Amino acid sequence: MIKTNFYNRNREYQQRVLNLIDQNKEQIFDFFEVDNLDLSFNLYIYDTIESLVKGMNDRGFLSMPSYMCACFKDEDNSLNLFEPKDNPGSDEWSKEKYDNVIFHELVHAINYQIYGSQYEWITEGIATYLDGTYKKGKKWLIENYISKYPIPSIYELEHEFGHHEYDSYDYAYLMISYLIETLGKTKFLQVIKNINEVNGIKNNLIIDAINYYKEKE
């Protein structure tokens, strides 16, 4: 059951979010190979991005990254959103683009309901694999971003995700794509259920994924 916490006064936008969840959940269920799932998480919607940040701080989440515009928090099983403006500026979110963010965070909420807490590179890799962020392909990603920075350690991606000059999401996406492509999705889903199996394959995973796509592309 979704428990709604509307700090947002616009009932039409509240319904837009609920409709997006209802319209997209089956696609996500299909990826995770579950027939059906009674969604159970706390949904918070705020009026503005500023009130979202303040609301998160008031609820005890004090170290929110500067780029944060939405988030799913394992700690209280909560999906946290705000309502973009009807006429946004060039550097602001439109409602249409923000729909993709809601989809991304919904992937996290469903992932958590199935598997519980996991490494961030797994959850972010899965969400970006599904949300269409990297439509330009792996070759473009490697040539334009990955190749410009030293390869990070798995420790950085597990403990310092999003806190370096490079984009941690790039590596998470490559790692998850590589695992799905080489293991097959069903085997991949079995592996990520078991922390020991994940720990057994993770140490060289970044390099393996990069080399795989360099050779393939």
**CATH code, domain carrying 74:** 3.40.30.160
One domain for residues 37 and 102:
yes
One domain for residues 38 and 132:
no
Task: Tell me, yes or no, if the pTM score tops 0.85.
Answer: yes
Tokens for 74, please give them. Answer: 């394992």
**Alpha carbon distance, N-terminus to C-terminus of the chain:** 44
One domain for residues 18 and 110:
yes
Q: For the chain, 217 residues long, give each residue's pLDDT as a single digit of tens.
A: 899 999 999 999 999 999 999 999 999 999 999 988 999 999 999 999 999 999 999 999 987 777 789 999 999 999 999 999 999 999 999 999 999 999 999 999 999 999 999 999 999 999 999 999 999 999 999 999 999 999 999 999 999 898 888 899 999 999 999 999 999 999 999 999 999 999 999 999 999 999 999 988 6
**Domain of 190?**
120-216
CA distance 154 to 54: 32
Task: Please state the φ and ψ torsions of residue 55, each to the nearest 5 degrees.
Answer: -65, -40
One domain for residues 102 and 142:
no
Total number of domains in the chain: 2
CA distance 154 to 203: 6
One domain for residues 110 and 128:
no
